[in-house]
Amino acid sequence: MNNEPLARTFREELEAFFGGSRCFLLAKGRVACYVGLRALGLPPKSRILLPGYTCMVVPSAVQYAGLTPVYADIDPATYNLDPAGLDQPIAEGVAAVVIQHTYGIPCDFAAIQRWAGAHDVPIIEDCCHTFGTRVEGRLCGTLGVFSFMSGQWNKPFCTGLGGMLLVNDPAIADSAAEVIHREAASPGALRSLLLRAQLTAYDLFFSPSTAGIATDLYRFLNRFGLVIGSSSLEELRGVMPRGYLSTMARCQIRRGLRAIVHIAENIDHRTRMTQFYHARLPAAGFLPLAHMPVEGYPLLRYPVRVANKEEVLAAARRGRVEIGDWFEAPLHPAGTRMEDFGYRPGMCPHAERASREVINLPTHLKVDLSTAEKTLQFLARHGRCVE
Ligand SMILES: *Cc1c(COP(=O)(O)O)cnc(C)c1O
């Protein structure tokens, strides 16, 4: 079937939202990152600066592109790259810097841009946690040379896995188009069928109270190759899987189109949920985020530090309360062999501490204020605030 007319409509919707950047539709967010990096045409082994609090699929995309990930610590108040880290030796001579907007909290763009401008270093945005957030009036996703977004189940809007690359520089967009034209596979009939079945299962079974069970089942089936999972075992070890560079399947494009039509509602909902958690956390005995503008942010998840993360997560599973574990490690998930990706323990102390302490609360369209209220009550009963 010819996907192109449908794909074009989806791309044009995204391009219109972001005001002129060029969009490409790929199998996952990490693949979008990979294509963007390839399109930069950097010399092999060039160092790419990442926040040491990210998904391992980002440094693995960097390595697949023949480049070298290096890490700077986060600001513990925002979970984003601390601009102070840019003046450390680790940042010297980097070829690009990735900013992440963790949980949907925009990074300190003014300071990072000053540094990047002074050193002539391109900025790349990891927008897998953010859609519709503005920083100093500008939309996240349009701040750097390119940005990549994820349509994975837990991301701002779901395409049932899937990724979007948004390029803000015409020459780099041309070379991204060329990489895709030359090398990308299309998903194939079996893969497309599985993806479609998974989308249907997600619609039928996923809710805040089944989130824990659904995630366990999905991971279990993934181990036996019965679903298309987020990451394969080889990928966790840093080996590029076959068919990595693939484009988006038709069912995913269709789902993305449906989501983008209702994107304003999604953004409003997330903003309202964020404001609710923000206002109510102190009464539940926890610290809200240090900075929150009056108009709020459409956060992907609201992060909260607890002194007993493992206990809270275990109780949440038993109680069927949706509470997230991002990030379990500086290179999420727990169990990633971080040294394979150039991360040594102690490199990013704030990120390591955040990995031990932070749980996160859902803001997506399937949670409402009454679920959020129950989640806060649950947290007040089971969680302990950090010192
Ligand atoms: C989920 C995520 C990604 C990767 O997205 P995929 O679509 O799963 O490849 C990248 N960066 C961050 C911060 C993420 O949370």
CB distance 152 to ligand 1 below 6 Å: yes
Question: What does the pLDDT read at residue 227?
Answer: 73
Burial code (b: 16+ CB inside 10 Å, e: under 16) for 239-271 equals: eeeeebbbbbbbbbbbbbbebbeebeebbebbb
Q: Give the number of the atom of ligand 1 that is nearest the alpha carbon of residue 154.
A: 1
Summarised one tens digit per residue, pLDDT across range 250-290 is: 999 999 999 999 999 999 999 999 999 999 999 999 999 99
Q: Are residues 158 and 135 in the same domain?
A: yes
Residues 278, 337 share a domain: yes
- Ramachandran sector of residue 218 (left: φ over 0; alpha: ψ -120 to 50; beta: rest): alpha
Whether residues 87 and 40 fall in one domain: yes
Q: Are residues 218 and 282 in the same domain?
A: no
Question: Are both 325 and 283 inside the same structural domain?
Answer: yes
Q: What is the DSSP letter of 224?
A: T
Question: What type of residue is 368?
Answer: D
Tell how strand 163-167 and strand 331-332 pair up.
unpaired
- 250 domain residue, yes or no: no
Which residues of the chain are under the pLDDT cut of 70? 1
Structure tokens at 139: 């939309």
Contacts of 86 (CB under 8 A, 6+ apart): 49, 72, 97, 112, 115
Which residue lies with its CA nearest to atom 6 of ligand 1?
29
Please say which residue of 167, 183, 199 terminates a domain: 183
Ligand 1, closest atom to CA 31? 9
| Same domain assignment for residues 24 and 152 | yes
CATH number of the domain enclosing 8: 3.40.640.10
Query: Are 251 and 202 spatial neighbours (Cβ–Cβ below 8 Å)?
Result: no
Residue 310 shares a structural domain with residue 330: yes
Collapsed DSSP state (helix, strand, coil) of residue 338: helix
- 330 domain-assigned: yes
Distance CA 224, CA 209 (A): 25
CATH of the domain at 359: 3.90.1150.10
Residues 109 and 142 in one domain: yes
Tell me if 274 is assigned to some domain: yes
194 backbone φψ class: left, alpha, beta (φ>0; ψ -120 to 50): alpha
Claim to verify: residue 219 and residue 319 sit in the same structural domain: no
Residue 253, domain member (yes or no)? no
Last residue of a domain, one of 183, 205, 222: 183
Number of domains composing the chain: 3
**CB-CB contact of 278 with 168 (8 Å):** no
User: Pick from 134, 155, 183: which residue ends a domain?
Assistant: 183
Rounded Cα distance between 171 and 181, Å, is 15
- Say what the pLDDT of residue 1 is: 65
Alpha carbon 186 to its chain's center: 23
* Owning domain of residue 114: 4-183
Strands (E), the chain: 22-26, 47-51, 54-55, 68-72, 96-99, 123-126, 134-135, 138-139, 146-150, 163-167, 301-305, 331-332, 358-362
- Tell me the C-alpha distance between 359 and 312, whole Å: 8
Answer yes or no: is the C-beta of 50 below 6 A from any ligand 1 atom. Answer: no
Please check whether residue 72 lies inside any domain of the structure.
yes
Same domain, 54 and 28: yes
81 ligand 1 Cβ < 6 A: no
Residue nearest to atom 7 of ligand 1 (CA): 29
Is the domain of 10 the same as that of 129?
yes
| Mutation to probe ligand 1, out of 128, 155, 236, 299 (largest number of atoms < 8 A from CB) | 128
60 in a structural domain: yes
Residue 255 lies in a domain: no
Considering the domain architecture, whether residues 200 and 224 belong to the same structural domain is answered as yes
- pLDDT, tens digit, 9 for 90 and up, residues 311-338: 999 999 999 999 999 999 999 999 899 9
The CA-atom distances, in angstroms, between 270 and each of 45, 262, 305, 316, 367 are: 39, 13, 20, 21, 10
Angle at 40 between CA 36 and CA 43, to 5 degrees: 130
Look at residue 254 and tell me if it is in a domain. no
